[in-house]
Amino acid sequence: MTTVVETPQVLSDAEITQFWEQGYLLVRGAISREEAAHYRDHILDMIPRNLALPEHWHSAAGRIKPMRNAHDHTFDTPELLPLWANEKLYHVAAQLLESTRLRVLDGSLGITLRNDSDRDRALSQTLHIDASVPTDIDQFLFSLAEVQIGGCFYFTDVLPNGGGIHVVPGGHRIVEEEARAHPQGRHLYDNWKRITHLESVEVTGEAGDFALLHHLMPHGASHNRRSTPRVAQFLRWVREDQPHGAGKAPEPGRYGARQLEAAGPLGRKLLGVEPW
Ligand SMILES: O=C(O)CCC(=O)C(=O)O
Ligand SMILES: [Fe+2]
């Protein structure tokens, strides 16, 4: 059922190999530069012009994270939902996860402004993983169905030292190896939220590209030393049958009419409001 997928094969064999070996892949032109500029402006317009950031937003080292409220970073607004339903990225995720029945999650945003402090460091955040594997279990399953792939859209060009997300080439394999060697592998390094022994590189890209990461990939935000802000949106895809329940359907009534309209037919399936 899940091995042969009838979906356009948008990644080349070399790209698929790169993803599984390196743990990350830059998907070029997931949206056009014009679309990227539209979303960049939409997100920048969320910032109050008096720069009085709402109390519940996060702001650290030049990285502004809009929040819906103190506990919710998901911007599943009609304006942004079309990105969740991006067909190319859905096909990429289906190809990698070997299933067409996927769920899309997250939708958080990040704006990284130029910041001249902390000159001797590239990272502004400790390397970590964001796997949808609960921390009350002791070990990962290391199965394909458990994998979440995620990452971010770049809505601006991200040149070197421009605030690009940092990754550890092959790092997902290091995480797997270290976790497998320990009976409570899920809990190493503060549940993998505090990884300080690995070296990372920046993922540069152009407006419209998507930086795709394996869920065991150690990653972190970096300082932006350039004048162009890095504007990004984070999305994740899991299989509907993800063994920890990350792919479960939302409670009825979770989305309103305008959201469902904006999501479109593919988006409604990806949100779990219509069956595959
Ligand atoms: O902003 C980035 O590049 C990465 C942010 C991140 O990984 C996080 O906030 O969990
Ligand atoms: Fe993260």
Q: Which ligand is nearest to the CA of 125?
A: 1
> Does 213 fall in a domain?
yes
pLDDT reported for residue 1: 46
> Does 29 fall in a domain?
yes
> Does 93 fall in a domain?
yes
> Does 270 fall in a domain?
no
* Amino acid code (one letter) for 47: I
Return phi, psi of residue 160, to 5°: -50, 140
User: Which atom of ligand 1 approaches the CA of 163 most closely?
Assistant: 3
3-state secondary structure of 18: helix
Residue 232: name the closest of 211, 261, 253, 213 by CA: 211
> Does 56 fall in a domain?
yes
> Does 261 fall in a domain?
no
* Number of domains the chain contains: 1
The CATH number of the domain where 114 resides is what?
2.60.120.620
Residue 110: name the closest of 61, 65, 56 by CA: 65
CA dihedral 117, 221, 177, 19 (to 10 degrees): -130
Query: Domain range spanning residue 191?
Result: 15-247
pLDDT tens track for 49-90 = 999 999 999 999 999 999 999 999 999 999 999 999 999 999
Q: How far is the CA of 130 from the centre of ligand 2 (A)?
A: 5
Residue 74: name the closest of 262, 255, 268 by CA: 255
> Does 133 fall in a domain?
yes
Average pLDDT score, the chain: 96
- Candidate of 108, 113, 125, 167 to mutate for ligand 1, largest count of ligand atoms within 8 Å of Cβ: 125
- The confidence band for 18, taking pLDDT boundaries of 50, 70 and 90, is very high
Distance of CA 263 to the CA centre of its chain: 18
> Does 260 fall in a domain?
no
